[in-house]
Chains A and B, each alone.
Chain A
Amino acid sequence: MILQRSITLRLALLFALATMLLLAGIGYFLNRSVESHLADMDWGEIHGKWELTQNLIEEIHTPTDLAAFPQLLEGALVGHPELFVTVKDQTGKILYATSGFSFPQQFVAKDMNAPPTFSAMTTWHDGEHMFRGTVATIASNLAGHPRFTVEIALENDEHQHFLDHFHRLLLTALLFGMTAAGALGWFIARRGLLPVRDMAAVARNISVAHLNERLPFDSVPMELRDLAMAFNGMLSRLEDSFHRLTDFSSDIAHELRTPINNLMVQSQVALSQARNTEQYQDVIASNLEEFDRLARMIADMLFLAKADNGLMVAGRQQVDLETEIERLAEFFSPFAEDRGVTIITTGVGTVTGDRIMLQRAIANLLSNAITHTAPGGQVQIRLINESAALLRVEVENPGKAIPVEQLGRIFDRFYRLDPARGAAPDGVGLGLAITKSIVIAHKGYIAVSSDYNATVFTITLPATS
């Protein structure tokens, strides 16, 4: 439905409907008061003539007076063609009647001596004409005629015409008002929705190059703040993800450039003049080292790409982490001893997953921990049964605190604590990212905390009881 799609149209129609109801109400009351005012006026006229007739009747004292009465009444009614009067005596004999007019049959006077009231006024129609009238008895001073019945009617065509005209006016006003309200409503709704259009314009301008643009919060009306806030929030998240992605791409380029540059320059220099076998061997061996680094980086990136696409499925083996950690400690111990670092392992625990992946995840943490521990230090790997369902692996090493702003990015790809890229002796800065993706593939999570005396990496995994 178009109504559901257009707020402007819906608002315009609602405006029109409201205006119509309002105008109809006002019209109804106006009509009522005009009609009652006209009735009052009619009554005034009828009442006046009734009083006149009463006065004339009261003047009748003798039969001569009675004979002169029709003449007198006729004279009093001259110039009032809209007035009709009938006067009867108590026997029903007509003493006077305006010619060419007959009162309806049911128009019967009650026997009373009080003057008629407004509520005694009746309204009736005869053909196209409308009449108002009343009937009453008047006590007489003439002997033998105790009372006369007087019927008075007023033809109020003029009022009727006025009312008809008034009704037409009201209807026109109603229709015009409705149309005007609809049009105004449409205009107001459009104006009211202008901030939304502005928001759309800002949104339209946001592209990859302008991800830092935000909706101007101050100029947005209160009702739209929630929307603007949600929209800005979404932009922030997008910007962040996008920056990470861009960083990642430029990091890849940077990381590839170094070994490839080494390979090119070395090979070019080697070929620039004749050399002995030993020198050639040296160049090729050096190239091999670079190739090895490249191959490892590609393998790591593929691993992460697979993890990103949810293609890395952790196996469902039972992995005894205590055994794995002891094995890792044994593997790393000559390396650690060389640096004067001891490795201490504690705890037991079993998880379901992929043994080789978990081994790799913990090995990365352990290798980092040993590398960052000063001689004489102690690296601890603890297995802690958090609960029946959760197992925690903690790798702790003493050392300087990692600044908080770096902790947040520590699991990012190619992120190194040392901003001088390439300073890392080996490895390409993907270790922690890989560890994190392995942990996630195992439905666990990884955290890091660091203070002035130790850095602790904590992997939490669903435990197998």
Chain B
Amino acid sequence: MKILIVEDEPKTGTYLKQGLTEAGFITDLAVTGTDGQYLALTETFDLIILDVMLPGINGWDVLRALRAAGKSMPVLFLTARDQVDDRVKGLELGADDYLVKPFAFSELLARVRTLLRRGKVVEPDTLTIADLEVNFVRRRASRSGQRIDLTAKEFMLLTLFLQRQGEVLSRTLIASQVWDMNFDSDTNVVEVAIRRLRAKIDDTFEPKLIHTVRGMGYVMELRNQ
């Protein structure tokens, strides 16, 4: 999967490139709108991460040029300005998603994966990790063959973790996906919910599946130790 990053702020550009490369993507970085547009038009990318305020040509014009040239790869806009007008303008021009700075890298990664996955993946009936098995049709979870009773929200939380295995999920993302709470929660509500889920699926089993990533959120993955 090849991603083009167009970002004029050197630190941001470098860290985005490093982060995405380490997440397994092939990345190119352009530091002006002109370079970005040239690269996007001449090479093939699966996704473009585009800053709005750019020297040369701004992000909107780059996007306009791309769509005019018939390039239909997903485009994720980055901006420091959180104005509804900006958002609407971006989306009207054919941007696929929109992130306001500052954002969590895990959030960016999650959005990138979602955009790349869009329309390609058929969700299977069952997902597993280690000896944890979840059947979405029967809404049933078990570990080592042992049936685990979960509340509706706990089941949704577990589903989210399973579908996003290996991705760090921020508290905000979890609150939004599981409870439809679309604000930054001050309280450690999500922490409590995660602790309860862990008590059911991790506490009495080995290996542990849900891990806390300090300062970022939680991830479900199989770690060998």
Contacts and interface: CB of A to CB of B under 8 A. Distances in A.
A289 B215 contact: yes
B21 interface: no
Given A327-B180, A363-B181, A335 B187 contact: yes
Contact of B185 (A285, A286, A287, A367): A367
Nearest to B82: A302
Contacts of B182: 356, 359-360
Dominant secondary structure at the A interface: helix
B186 A367 contact: yes
Nearest to A303: B82
A441 to B, nearest CB: 13
Given A302-B82, A359-B182, A335 B188 contact: yes
A61 to B, nearest CB: 133
B196 interface: yes
A332 B184 CA distance: 14
Contacts of B214: 281-282, 285-286, 288-289
Given A291-B102, A295-B102, A331-B175, A426 B187 contact: yes
Nearest to B154: A334
A126 interface: no
Nearest to B191: A335
A330 B184 contact: no
A327 B175 CA distance: 11
A426 B102 contact: no
Given A286-B215, A288-B214, A338-B192, A331 B187 contact: no
A353 interface: no
Given A334-B193, A334-B196, A296 B187 contact: no
19 contacts: A282-B214, A285-B216, A286-B214, A287-B215, A289-B215, A291-B102, A295-B102, A296-B186, A298-B102, A334-B192, A334-B196, A335-B188, A359-B181, A360-B183, A363-B183, A367-B186, A367-B187, A370-B187, A426-B187
User: Which 8 A-B pairs rank lowest in CB-CB distance, beginning with the nearest?
Assistant: A288-B215, A285-B214, A427-B186, A360-B183, A331-B179, A285-B215, A335-B189, A295-B102
Given A292-B104, A367-B186, 13 more contacts: A281-B214, A284-B215, A286-B215, A289-B215, A291-B102, A296-B184, A298-B102, A327-B181, A332-B187, A335-B188, A356-B182, A359-B183, A367-B187
Interface of A: 281-282, 284-289, 291-292, 295-296, 298-299, 302, 327-328, 330-332, 334-335, 338, 356, 359-360, 363-364, 367, 370-371, 426-427, 431
Interface of B: 82, 102, 104, 153, 175, 179-189, 192-193, 196, 213-216
